[in-house]
Amino acid sequence: MANICNRDTHVLVLSFFNLISISIASVISTGNFNSDFYITWSPSHVYASADGHSRSLKLDQESGSSIASNDMFLFGQIDMQIKLIPGYSAGTVLAFYLASDQPNRDEIDFEFLGNVTGQPYILQTNVYADGFDNREERIFLWFDPTKDFHTYSILWNLYQIVFMVDWVPIRVYRNHADKGVAFPRRQPMSLKVSLWNGDSWATRGGRDKVDWSKGPFIASMRNYKIDACVWKGNPRFCRADSTANWWNEPRFSSLTWNQRRLFKWVRKYYLIYDYCQDPKRFQNQLPRECSLPKY
């Protein structure tokens, strides 16, 4: 009887510490750039508000700039309010993304491609999985992203990656690993934001260059939220079915009916490029995921 009691007590203690570990592994961010991020490129080109709740990146002829999160994450949801460069922004690229920084890296990208005055920004999304990308999609936005802040979100869970703009799903990359399609699910990733000169390709295939006389070019961020599993070395905690890891609940395994309606609306009216609709690029052998359902 004593052995049974001891064994049961041992199981309860282990369960308790597992629950503690899972709760510690999940975080809702402080909203303070000064405590959650560090500068990775050109401190003189990164500006922070006194309270740390907003931050701006600058690009000029001298340098671009970038920041990265102190922590790495495996699954969760990230929201960031961003206001893009006004006026002439051709050749500039603002990237808001998750990256694992491994040779066979995983990456989930928002890339905002600048344009000449009077022409709309292009939002490009991309997914790297096991070191391979070539999964670009591009849309026009249904608003001017330089006039005000808008919320850009990444939901990343065991089932899917959903890119959202003001809570409207603009892209879904589904987990079809069981069908041989690579999906980011093992490597933790840090959150990064960078502003840089991409005029070799970003605007009209590189035909429109950065006009430095229009600079400096400044993009701003604020009101971010990181609700994700902080990497502590054990993926089991991040894949666990727990209230802390809400994003892995079955109800987030696919788009809701209303999300599907909005997703179709974006695809119908704002999509301008989809790698799955470019057979010439892949010698008529489109990637496997292109023939599989998105939800």
pLDDT tens sequence across 206-257: 999 999 999 999 999 999 999 999 999 888 889 887 788 999 999 999 999 9
Residue 262 is assigned to a structural domain of this protein: yes
Residue 134 is assigned to a structural domain of this protein: yes
Residue span of the structural domain in which 110 resides: 27-291
Could you tell me what percent of the chain has a pLDDT over 70? 91
Cβ-contact 115, 89 below 8 angstroms: yes
Judged against a pLDDT cut of 70, whether residue 283 lies above it is answered with: yes
pLDDT for the residue numbered 234 = 85
178: tokens are 């069981």
Runs of H (alpha helix) within 223-256: 235-239
Residue 9 is assigned to a structural domain of this protein: no
Residue 19 is assigned to a structural domain of this protein: no
Any catalytic annotation for residue 107? yes
pLDDT for the residue numbered 45 = 98
Any catalytic annotation for residue 62? no
The per-residue pLDDT for range 169-186, each reduced to its tens digit, is 999 999 999 999 999 999
Judged against a pLDDT cut of 60, whether residue 12 lies above it is answered with: no
The per-residue pLDDT for range 75-97, each reduced to its tens digit, is 999 999 999 999 999 999 999 99
Residue 31 is assigned to a structural domain of this protein: yes
Neighbours of 250 (CB within 10 A): 9
| Residue listed under structure tokens 């987990």 | 175
Catalytic residue among 107, 137, 249, 289: 107
Residue 151 is assigned to a structural domain of this protein: yes
Cβ-contact 162, 171 below 8 angstroms: yes
Can you tell me the distance from the alpha carbon of 84 to that of 95, in angstroms, rounded to the nearest whole number? 11
Give how far the C-alpha of residue 289 lies from the chain's centroid of Cα atoms, to the nearest Å: 20
CATH code assigned at 206: 2.60.120.200
Domain count, the chain: 1
Residue 4 is assigned to a structural domain of this protein: no
Residue 7 is assigned to a structural domain of this protein: no
- pTM of structure: 0.90
Mean pLDDT, residues 246-274: 97
Percent composition of the chain: helix, strand, coil (DSSP 3-state, to 5)? 25, 40, 35
